[in-house]
Chain A
Amino acid sequence: MAGVASADRLDLLEALAALRASGEPLVPNTLRALADSRLRELLERLLARSGRVLVSDSAGRLTIGYDDTVADALVARGIGVLEPVDRAVLCLVLLLSVAAPRARGQLPACDDWSSGRRLSSEQLLGHFRGQGLSRDAISDSVTRLKHLGLLRAGQDIAPGPSLARLTPRRRSELWEDLVLICAPTSSRASFIAGRRQATKERA
């Protein structure tokens, strides 16, 4: 951070530490480096050099996520990728807790995945019945996802604060993934699949 005044540097480091440590997104006016546009621009440049970006939720609160290009590189190297059973459990939770209620108008129409309807363990287990996953395997998966913040801590099952760190592109891809899973023969699914294939061919 050559040329950054020491007072500014302190504000920047304070904001970085708070953004990393806080489990929930922060209200911008609680920290000078988030509230001041000049400092915020500096902060975003610093984050970019670590492969991170500022992410805003539907209420304008801020957290940090991974830059999309960097995240693509990590995934290509198998880093930070969930195990298949954890992906299956998380997918079902997001479907039951967020996607379906939102489609029915029971949740606000936004792209926030980190808040949704609470489910009981029995509700979740019931949906996996006969799918070849044991009760223990699902329970262990739920514990792992809670440690990662992808599910909330506590007895019930609900999407966790780590999902607030998804970039806008990642949030919309999640919606698209669920469409591909739940309605694979729909025209929307065909459109999504076709567009992804075209992107892959251009790369």
Chain B
Amino acid sequence: MDEIAVTLAALECGHGPAPGVDRPALAARAQETGRSLARGRDGALQLVLDDEGAPGWDVLAAPVPVSEHRLCVLGLLLGELGWTGQRPQAGSGPVGCARLAEGLRSRGRDDTSSLITSLRSLAQLRLIEYDQARELVWIGPALSAQPPAFFASLANARERA
């Protein structure tokens, strides 16, 4: 049994490694797939994409095109959750779509159908969890696993908005 593979799989399920696991070997194996080990807000170890893990491939670019609007929506969502630049936790929320729409309006983007389109696309990429019926949004598992460069570009987009 490849214990490193099992430990990595457990990390993907949100379970930290058992004491005594070979941490350097675990980190090296994670790096093979463009990831590294990091501490989440609760101190638990998690797998995150390092900057190489998304090389020139902005997650917003695939499988749907990049859009400044989607970055803006993500920035608003994080802002509503009190984001200060650190890695957000998957499942944080919910934030009402009405608050996001209000945020967009204050930035001169008063278009409800564009918001819904962006939310659907972001949900497809699992950057958010989106309940369209209840008009609620949560941080998705893919967003919490993004590399540091992603949050830097998100912070820049928020400043531009």
Contact = CB atoms under 8 A, between A and B. Distances in A.
B63 A22 contact: yes
B133 A155 contact: yes
A181 to B, nearest CB: 25
B105 interface: no
Given A16-B34, A20-B142, A67 B5 contact: yes
A103 interface: no
A18 B62 contact: yes
Interface string A68-82: 011101100101100
Contact of A50 (B9, B126, B130, B133): B9
A52 B9 contact: yes
Interface stretch (A23-31, A88-96, A106-114): A23-31
A49 interface: yes
A30 B61 CA distance: 13
B96 interface: no
B123 interface: yes
Contacts of B80: none
B72 interface: no
Interface string B26-44: 0001101110000000000
Given A13-B53, A46-B32, A51-B6, A153 B13 contact: no
Interface residues of B, number: 40
Given A17-B59, A49-B32, A70-B5, A22 B124 contact: yes
B132 A13 contact: no
A54 B2 CA distance: 18
Contact of B129 (A67, A74, A153, A155): A153
A74 B53 contact: no
B63 A18 contact: yes
A60 B4 CA distance: 30
Contacts of A146: 129, 131
Nearest to A4: B32
Contacts of B130: 153
25 contacts: A13-B34, A13-B54, A14-B57, A14-B62, A16-B33, A17-B59, A18-B62, A21-B62, A21-B125, A21-B126, A21-B127, A22-B125, A30-B63, A46-B32, A46-B33, A49-B4, A49-B33, A51-B2, A51-B5, A69-B1, A70-B6, A71-B9, A80-B10, A153-B123, A154-B132
Interface of A: 1, 10, 13-14, 16-18, 20-24, 26, 30, 46-52, 66-67, 69-71, 73-74, 77, 79-80, 146-147, 149, 153-155
